[in-house]
Amino acid sequence: MAEQPYNIVLVEDDASLGYLLKEYLGMKGFEVRWIQDSQEVLPLLKARAFDLVILDVMMPGMDGFTLGEKIHKEHPGLPFLFLTARSMKIDVLKGFAVGAVDYLKKPIDEEELVVRIEALLMRLDTRTQASPQGDVMSLGGYNYDAQNQSLEFKGEQQILTKRENELLRFLAARPNRLSRHEDILKELWGRNDYFNRKSLNVFITRLRKYLANDPALRIENVHGQGFIFHVPREA
């Protein structure tokens, strides 16, 4: 882990589990703010900077999916994951669809949770990443600023989430070449499995929407293999 401790918001209404996780993560070097009332989360995020939010799904008042969707819209650069007993495939896919970077199922071993969090934060944390080549990259009619996680088209700016930004940077570094599923998943998610592939497809759909203003830019799905990011070649 980095010398500067990561700041985590843990949203868990179960008092026993919340206390256990807060104490264990604190022992492992994380700064943890434990919240039992989901209604308190958004005001807290406006008041302070955090590195990660861990959400339960089944909570009184605002459920985790609704809260996650609001976090994604209001704090697009802040990653969040679900830690929940809701384990049906439809729940997992919904979690990724609202913007989660991971979906963990209860019960989970505390040591495994720490390993997953550390691996996730090290991949997503811009403090540990080298700056991209140059400041701004031209992608067709877009200006892509990977360092500031933004896409600009004719003065209109789209702020990307950390995962969206990492995926676009991965594809943009390999223009007009096949980016294989397994390579993307291992680089960005840390493992290649069914649920992460579904999540990857969700993020590809988002990038296609963001890039739709320039028809010369196209993310082609190569069935069973991966994606090709078609970018106009310079004359």
H or E stretch at 109:
none
pLDDT tens profile 43-59: 988 888 788 999 999 98
Give buried/exposed letters for 124-163 (b at 16+ CB in 10 A, else e).
Answer: bbeeeeeebeeeebebbebbbbbeebbbebeeeebebbbb
Q: What are phi and psi of 14, to 5 degrees?
A: -75, 115
Cβ-Cβ contacts under 8 Å for 156 (sequence gap 6 or more): none
In the chain, CATH 3.40.50.2300 sits at 7-128
pLDDT tens profile 121-159: 776 654 444 334 446 888 989 999 988 889 999 999 999
pLDDT at position 110 is 87
- The single-letter code of the amino acid at 167 is L
In the chain, CATH 1.10.10.10 sits at 137-230
Task: Please state the pTM of the whole predicted model.
Answer: 0.57
Is it the case that residue 27 has pLDDT exceeding 90? yes
Superfamily of the domain at 7-128:
Response regulator (3.40.50.2300)
Dist. CA 181–CA 226, nearest whole Å: 5
pLDDT at position 131 is 39
Whether CATH 2.40.50.140 fits 137-230 = no
- The single-letter code of the amino acid at 121 is L
pLDDT tens profile 190-220: 888 888 888 899 999 999 999 999 999 999 9
- The single-letter code of the amino acid at 122 is M
